[in-house]
């Protein structure tokens, strides 16, 4: 199911062997969950939620979500779990103890950028503007022919804020967000805290936005796993989100069986 990606540092068709000393970091959209036409259409099923709960217990709490979504959406998706998480690419972060870390201030001119994007969407109703507390994501999955116009507008709006916004591209989406954090810095922050500190980091993601996370766990001698197939800094790959869910379910099942044997 999982193979070594190129450039390979592990044997082809090998699977990273699960270890209780992992610190497991998981991207959500496109990795744990299949991408939908609208972000609000995504759902996490009961099997996945139970798998995450089991693995979090086995890892003594060292499991976190690393996502572009706001924390409140992550909590809604994976309820009743309340996991450690980095939302909005690390601009929001909740520690394993449940503490919300200080956020980042909005730059001057942010509201004007939101108004410009809203006007553009009014002219192109097939687009969707996702408003976040620290960023604005313009989705064009329903209108791929508008990609050039979307990117041109986003690039033009970057310098209109003080300090300038960060332009982040993703799968059929472009996001203008507050600078200062990415998925790599979020993982590094978790790795400096209990229960993640001293463990081997594993980050699983699918998109260009996950490359910072891949590079960071590579620096820390961890496992970087790409969901899908493309050029990437990830050292391992898995074919699809569905395959990742099956793998996590199998790991959770193996852990449960091991715990049962230990009790008998």
Residue 45 to residue 249: CA distance in whole angstroms: 12
Q: Which pLDDT score is estimated for 3?
A: 56
User: Which one, of 53, 133, 62, lies nearest residue 97 by Cα?
Assistant: 62
Is there a catalytic annotation at residue 27? Answer: yes
Which sign, positive or negative, has the C-alpha torsion 187, 189, 193, 199? Answer: positive
Q: Which domains does the chain have, with CATH numbers?
A: 19-102+181-263 (3.40.50.1000), 110-177 (3.30.70.1020)
End-to-end Cα spacing for the chain: 31
Q: Which pLDDT score is estimated for 257?
A: 58
Residue 221 structure tokens: 């001698």
Q: Do 25 and 203 contact (CB within 8 A), yes or no?
A: yes
Per-residue pLDDT of the chain (264 residues; tens, 9 = 90+): 555 554 444 433 345 778 889 999 999 999 999 987 777 777 889 999 999 999 999 999 999 999 999 999 999 999 999 999 999 999 899 999 888 877 778 889 999 999 999 999 999 999 999 988 888 999 999 999 999 999 999 999 999 999 999 998 988 999 999 888 899 999 999 999 999 999 999 999 999 999 999 999 999 999 999 999 889 999 999 999 999 999 999 999 877 556 555 555
Q: Which pLDDT score is estimated for 38?
A: 72
Q: Which pLDDT score is estimated for 39?
A: 72
Q: Do 115 and 68 contact (CB within 8 A), yes or no?
A: no
From 13, 27, 105, 207, active-site residue: 27
Residue 170 CB contacts under 8 Å (≥ 6 apart), including other chains: 68, 137, 207, 208, 209
Q: Do 155 and 116 contact (CB within 8 A), yes or no?
A: no
């Amino acid at each position: 199911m999982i193979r070594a990606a190129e450039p390979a540092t592990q044997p082809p068709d090998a699977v990273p062997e699960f270890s209780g000393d992992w610190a497991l970091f998981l991207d959500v959209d496109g990795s744990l969950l299949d991408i939908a036409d609208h972000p609000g259409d995504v759902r996490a099923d009961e099997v996945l939620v139970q798998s995450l709960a089991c693995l979090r217990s086995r890892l003594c709490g060292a499991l976190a979500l690393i996502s572009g979504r706001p924390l409140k959406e992550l909590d809604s998706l994976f309820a009743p779990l309340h996991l450690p998480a980095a939302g909005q690419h690390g601009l929001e972060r909740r520690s394993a103890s449940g503490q919300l870390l200080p956020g980042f201030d909005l730059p001057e001119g942010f509201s004007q950028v939101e108004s410009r994007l809203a006007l553009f969407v009014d002219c192109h109703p097939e687009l969707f503007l996702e408003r976040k507390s620290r960023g604005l994501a313009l989705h064009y999955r329903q209108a791929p022919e508008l990609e050039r116009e979307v990117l041109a507008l986003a690039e033009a709006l970057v310098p209109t804020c003080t300090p300038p916004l960060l332009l982040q591209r993703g799968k059929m989406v472009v996001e203008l967000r507050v600078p200062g954090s990415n998925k790599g810095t979020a993982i590094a922050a978790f790795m400096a805290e209990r229960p993640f500190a001293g463990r081997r980091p594993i980050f699983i993601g699918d998109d260009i936005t996950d490359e910072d996370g891949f590079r960071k766990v590579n620096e820390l001698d961890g496992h970087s796993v790409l969901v899908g197939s493309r050029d990437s800094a990830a050292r391992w790959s898995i074919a699809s989100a569905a395959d990742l869910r099956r793998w996590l379910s199998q790991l959770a099942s193996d852990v449960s069986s091991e715990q049962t044997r230990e009790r008998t």
